[in-house]
Amino acid sequence: MNTTHPSPGPTGHPVTVLQVDEHQWHAVRDDRVVGRGDAWRRPDGRTFVSVDAWDGPVFDRLAETLADRLPTPLYTLADQNDPDSQAAWQRVGFTTHRREWQYTVPTDPGVTGLDALRPPPGVTVLPAGRAVADPLRALDRAIRAEVGAGVGWQTMPAEVIPLPDGVTVPDPSKYAVAVQDGRYVGMLRLAPVPRQPRIGLLAVLADRQRQGVARALLADTLDALHRAGVAAATAEVSESNHAARQLFEGIGARLTSTNLELVRR
């Protein structure tokens, strides 16, 4: 267990930062955990960090420890409307890398305009929980390879999800899949966040794009949510991903917040 030197907290009581495992640090004051810092390595190789602490000096101590202990580049996320969090990360050398927009997406097909949409010829949508794991994982690997060779994963939602090495689809039941001529060609991952599910990823193979596959996946998934009594979902889109922004805004999605992706090189 690694320990940083204690420093006084706002009450004069010292705060000590302890590394409790390979990817997690605790800030301790008077034998109580008063803050946590975490690090995750994404499948694209980038390391993201986060800090959970109510007290400003504790946040600073944890952020400084993560920045000092981990190899660069490091990435983190901050709400654009939270200048205190941005300033804390900036004090330890983080700068703005990109912006990610969060949308609230209506599910009512009468609102989205997807009520009359039909899938492209030969395309069938398998709802979440119906996909077969092996071809789904093969599709995921193919899409990741295409994105990595093209625009890069920095254009995709900044997910900070700890996964074992080589595992990119930990739970196939969360994925809806578009099948064309017997081949899996597109997928949508829906995270069942309480009260408002989150569309975590919407992707289609390059040779099947611009044919309406993504809209068909959205239409089927949103309609299922609407029938289940869910009024809206959320989705994250990189500011630079113009095609995804047009897709969501075209079905009435409303921009509700903006996250900043910060980097320390």
**Residue 42's CATH number:** 3.40.630
Question: Over 80: is that where the pLDDT of 195 sits?
Answer: no
Rounded Cα distance between 221 and 52, Å, is: 33
**Burial (CB count <10 Å: 0-12, 13-18, 19+), residue 83:** exposed
Percentage of the chain exceeding pLDDT 90:
56
Which of 120-129, 160-169, 190-199 comes out lowest in average pLDDT? Answer: 160-169
Domain boundary among 100, 132, 159: 100
More confident residue, 8 or 183: 183
Taking 3-state DSSP, the helix, strand and coil percentages for the chain, each rounded to the nearest 5, stand at 30, 35, 35
pLDDT in the model for residue 69: 92
| Lowest-confidence pick of 39-48, 105-114, 247-256 | 39-48
Is the pLDDT at 158 greater than 60? The verdict is no
pLDDT at position 93, please? Answer: 93
Selected residue with higher pLDDT from 161 and 118:
118
The pLDDT confidence band at residue 171, using thresholds 50, 70 and 90, is confident
126 lies in the same domain as 92: no
Find, among 203, 201, 205, 209, the residue nearest to 120 by Cα.
209
Distance CA 216, CA 34 (A): 46
The answer, yes or no, to whether residue 6 has pLDDT greater than 60, is no
| Of 200 and 215, the one with more pLDDT | 215
Domain total in the chain:
2
The token duo for 46 is: 């980038």
Higher pLDDT pick, 26 / 165: 26
Identify the pLDDT of residue 144: 82
Q: How far is CA 52 from CA 60, 114, 162, 253, in A?
A: 11, 40, 16, 30
Q: Judge if 72 and 146 occupy the same domain.
A: no
Instruction: Name, of 2-11, 151-160, 245-254, the range with top average pLDDT.
Output: 245-254
Higher pLDDT, 13 or 66: 66
- Please tell me the least confidently modeled range out of 128-137, 151-160, 206-215: 151-160
The CATH number of residue 139's host domain is 3.40.630.30
Domain end (from 100, 127, 158): 100
Task: Give residue 161's pLDDT band: very low, low, confident or very high (50, 70, 90).
Answer: very low
* Same-domain pairing of 86 and 107: no
> Is 162's pLDDT higher than 50?
no
pLDDT score of 9 more than 70? no
Q: Is residue 231 part of a domain?
A: yes
Do 129 and 247 sit in the same domain of this protein? yes
Cα angle value 204/47/7 (rounded, 5°): 150
Average pLDDT across the chain, whole number = 86
Residue 265: inside a domain:
no
Band the pLDDT of 150: cuts 50, 70, 90.
low
Q: Which candidate, 123, 130, 259, places its Cα nearest to that of 204?
A: 123
Residue with tokens 């301790």, as numbered in its chain: 28
Task: Give residue 121's identity as a one-letter amino acid code.
Answer: P
- Band of residue 159 on the pLDDT scale cut at 50, 70, 90: very low
Q: Are 96 and 77 in contact (CB under 8 A)?
A: no
* Token couple for 136: 């789904």
- Dihedral, CA atoms, 250, 254, 256, 259, nearest 10 degrees? -10
